[in-house]
Structure 1
Amino acid sequence: MRKQVLILSALLMSMIVFGQKSELKTAEKAIKANDFTAAMAAINQAESLIANADQKTKAKFYYLRGKALYQNGSESADILKVGEAFNKLINFEKETKKQKYTNELGGLLNELISNVAEKASNEYSVAAQTKEPSDYLKAAKKFEQVYALSPRDTSFLDNAALVYYFGKDYETSKKLYEKLLNLNYTGITTIYVATNKEDGKDIIFDNKKAMDLQVKLGIVENPREEVKKSRREFIFKNLAQNYSALENNSKALEVITEGRTEFPESYSLLIDEANIYYKLGDNAKFKERLQEAIKLNPTDPTLYYNVGVMNMDQNKIDEAIEYFEKAIELKPDYGDAYNNIGAAIIEKANPIIEEMNKSLSDFNKYDKLQAQQFDIYKEAIPFYEKAYELNGSNISIVQTLMGLYENLDMGDKLEKIKLVYDKLKE
């Protein structure tokens, strides 16, 4: 009985091997006849039998699969699948140390990488001109294809993620950025640069040896090595922007928090965090992050302006004015800051107006309160006038000045500003 089982097993194995070889021969003939559909059908039949095949048979299977998918470089070939198949064969032969097909597919692969990378670059140049999302998506797909063909060139995956974002495909961009983080990609690279003696332009070399050779030949001069900084800070930033664009601000905040843990001094991530808190309606956190940003970048007038706005929202009028004044100190033509100082000063009149409304029957008290109100209006006028000087087309500023001039019986100025108002309304 034992002998019968062994005989049956041996017979079964010989049938599997025969099936493998038969299907592979069919695929090989179909490829030579350029019948790639038939080739893939045969390869798919063989795939279920290939797990226990020997090295030689497996290598041939991977080789034929790659060739069938490649379709002699046809435009209809699925580049992502071709890259996966070619690399599967190359990695397999590298592991088994028997490289029968690597040179052939490796040559095709390098040619394909070069062609697709060139197309990606050209299509990105077009997209950069048109700014059309559809054009960005064409370039993004090509960059992703280059990465599929050459997974070692992770920078192409980085390019694809960014260009998908430009193309407003936030979901795909998000997935690629997450993949980059999972791969612990940094983007830190050393590039070799020298200056062409003939035209004075810089040339980038693939390696130091190639650069040194050109120096010795006297073709280039001023050889140097330049190290590109880490891209991870921007990956966190761009990933968060994708989540925000997908209206998942809570997840965007998680990404920013993770990024700031890795890059605690990042001004860019800090500003993004502040903006996300603003989108979430957490004005207190928004203000806190802006104040933190001021410590990192004390010369940015916009930061002071925004903190001033938050102080106004919290009814901290004097603090708001201080921040607006600092913004103007850094940017003397900051019209919005002048406008908001005027608005902050007028806010001081609100409690006086409330008291006036309670004193309608006490004429003496009412008149004294109204005098205080008008003094405040007089204090605000120069700031509104400066805001108007800097932005004469802002109808809101013009309307405010009209109201102030009318309250203070400033007839000449009121008449002039009314003419401006009438023109703006046209």
Structure 2
Amino acid sequence: MKKQFIIVSAFLLSMTVFGQKDEIKTAEKAIKSNDFNTALTAINQAEGLISNADDKTKAKFYYLKGLALYQNEGAQMDVDKTAAAFNDLFNFEKSINSFKYTDEIKALSGKMVNGIATKASSQYSAAIESKEPADFSKAAKLFHQVYKLSPVDTVFLDNAALIYYFGKEYKTSRDLYQQLLDMNYTGIAEEFVATNKADGKDVTYPDKKAMDLQVKLGMAENPRTEVKESRRELIFKNLAQNSSDLNEMDKALEYISMGRQEFPKSYSLLIDEANIYYKLGDNAKFKERLELAIEMNPTEPTLYYNVGVMNMEQKKTDEAIKYFEKAIELKPDYGDAYNNIGAAIIEKAGPIIEEMNKSLNDFAKYDKLQKQQFAIYEKSVPYYEKAFELNKSSISVVQTLMGLYENLGMDEKLEAIKTVYAELKGE
């Protein structure tokens, strides 16, 4: 019985081998006749049997599968499936150290890469013009296809990740950035640049040999090698931004934390972290991160301004004014900072107004308190006037000045500002 079973098994194995070869012959014949549907049917039938084939048969199977999907680059070609088939062939022939079909398929792959890359660039230019998310998504898909065809060209995956973000496909963008992170992609690369003698513009060449040839022919000058900076920090930023736009704030903070561990001196990541806390409504951590940012970048006026705002919210009026003053010192035309100093000064009148409301029947005390109130208002006026000087279209500043002029009996200024108000309201 045992011998009979072995004989039957061997017979079945032989039938399998013949089945493979028959299907492969059918596919090859159909491809030569440009009958790609028949070729794909035969390939699909052979695929389940190919694991038992010898290396020579397997290589031919992967080769024919690629050609059947390629369809002479016809309109029905599925780029993603074709790219996968091509890469299966490359990987298999590399694994057996035999490259019978690799050069031919690489030529086809290169042709596809060039064609799709050109389409991708054109589509991206169209998207910039239209500003439509759907157009950016189309461009991103094309860049992603180029990467699938040529996985060594990781810059195309980087491009796809970024452009998917412009297309508001945040999940896809994040997935691609995560893929870049997982492969330890940095984006650091050498670029070969020379100046075209004809128009004086810089040209980037694919390799040093091509650049040197142009220089030797006298068509270019000033050849040089430039090193592109690492994009890894930006990848962390974009991972966090995508997560934030997906409203996955814990994930966003996780990516920022990973980025700051790798780039502890990154001002940009610190600001992103501050903004996430602000979006979460955690003003204490927002302020804390801004104060750390000031230590890193002590000449940035918006940092002082925002810390001033946080101090205002915490009722630390004098502290807020100090930060607004520092912002103005660094940026003398910072209209919002002038406005907020005026607001902070008026805030000091709050306790006095409360006491006035308790002293409505004590006229002497009320009058005394009102003088104190108006004295505070007088101190705020120059700041609001400066804010108005810097931004004459701010209705809120104009309204505040109207109230101050009326309370302080500054009638001439009141009439002038009323005219401005009427103009702004279109009356």
What is the TM-score when the length of structure 1 is the normalising length? 0.97
1:81-121 deviations in whole A, cap 9, x for unaligned? 11111111122112212222112111101111111111111
Task: Report the equivalent of 2:40.
Answer: 40
Task: Report the equivalent of 1:137.
Answer: 137
Task: Report the equivalent of 1:244.
Answer: 244
1:67 partner amino acid: L
1:369 aligned onto 2:369 = yes
1:145 partner amino acid: Q
Q: Measure the CA separation in 2 of the matches of 1:397 and 1:262.
A: 45
SS in structure 2 of the partner of residue 51 of structure 1: helix
List aligned pairs for 1:251-262, cutoff 5 A: 251-262=251-262
Of 146-155 and 290-299, more deviation after overlay is shown by 290-299
Task: Report the equivalent of 1:80.
Answer: 80
Q: Measure how far apart 1:405 and its partner are.
A: 1.0
Residue 413 and residue 115 in structure 1: after superposition, are their counterparts in 2 closer, same or farther (change >3 A)?
Answer: same
1:289-319 deviations in whole A, cap 9, x for unaligned? 1111112222211111111100000011011
1:195 aligned onto 2:195 = yes
Runs of 4+ more than 6 Å apart: none
Task: Report the equivalent of 1:170.
Answer: 170
1:68 partner amino acid: A
Q: Measure the CA separation in 2 of the matches of 1:420 and 1:196.
A: 57
Q: Measure how far apart 1:217 and its partner are.
A: 3.8
Taking only aligned residues, the RMSD between alpha carbons, in angstroms, comes to 1.3
Q: Measure the CA separation in 2 of the matches of 1:264 and 1:193.
A: 33
2:268 partner amino acid: S
Q: Measure the CA separation in 2 of the matches of 1:362 and 1:2.
A: 118
Q: Measure the CA separation in 2 of the matches of 1:299 and 1:80.
A: 50
Q: Measure the CA separation in 1 of the matches of 2:216 and 2:30.
A: 51
List aligned pairs for 1:15-414, cutoff 5 A: 15-414=15-414
1:312-369 deviations in whole A, cap 9, x for unaligned? 0001101111111111111111111111000000000001111111222222221111
1:163-211 deviations in whole A, cap 9, x for unaligned? 0111111111111111111111111101111223343222222222333
Q: Measure how far apart 1:228 and its partner are.
A: 0.7
Of 270-279 and 204-213, more deviation after overlay is shown by 204-213
1:106-165 deviations in whole A, cap 9, x for unaligned? 110111111111111111112122212121111111100000000010110000000011
Q: Measure the CA separation in 2 of the matches of 1:158 and 1:77.
A: 25
2:100 partner amino acid: K
1:216-272 deviations in whole A, cap 9, x for unaligned? 444332221111111111111111111111111221111111111111111111111
Q: Measure the CA separation in 2 of the matches of 1:90 and 1:217.
A: 36
Task: Report the equivalent of 1:419.
Answer: 419
| Aligned-pair identity (%) | 70
SS in structure 1 of the partner of residue 72 of structure 2: helix
SS in structure 1 of the partner of residue 52 of structure 2: coil
1:49 partner amino acid: L
1:370-412 deviations in whole A, cap 9, x for unaligned? 1110000000001111111111111111111111111111111
Of 172-181 and 94-103, more deviation after overlay is shown by 94-103
Q: Measure the CA separation in 2 of the matches of 1:213 and 1:360.
A: 92
Q: Measure the CA separation in 2 of the matches of 1:57 and 1:414.
A: 94
1:194 partner amino acid: A
Name stretches of at least 5 consecutive residues in structure 1 with no aligned partner.
none
Q: Measure the CA separation in 2 of the matches of 1:207 and 1:213.
A: 10
Name stretches of at least 5 consecutive residues in structure 2 with no aligned partner.
none
Q: Measure the CA separation in 2 of the matches of 1:411 and 1:232.
A: 61
SS in structure 1 of the partner of residue 192 of structure 2: strand
1:28-69 deviations in whole A, cap 9, x for unaligned? 222223222222222111111111210011011111111111
Task: Report the equivalent of 2:11.
Answer: 11
SS in structure 2 of the partner of residue 3 of structure 1: helix
1:206 partner amino acid: P
SS in structure 1 of the partner of residue 68 of structure 2: helix
Q: Measure the CA separation in 2 of the matches of 1:158 and 1:333.
A: 39
What is the TM-score when the length of structure 2 is the normalising length? 0.97
SS in structure 2 of the partner of residue 31 of structure 1: helix
Q: Measure the CA separation in 2 of the matches of 1:397 and 1:223.
A: 57
SS in structure 1 of the partner of residue 199 of structure 2: coil
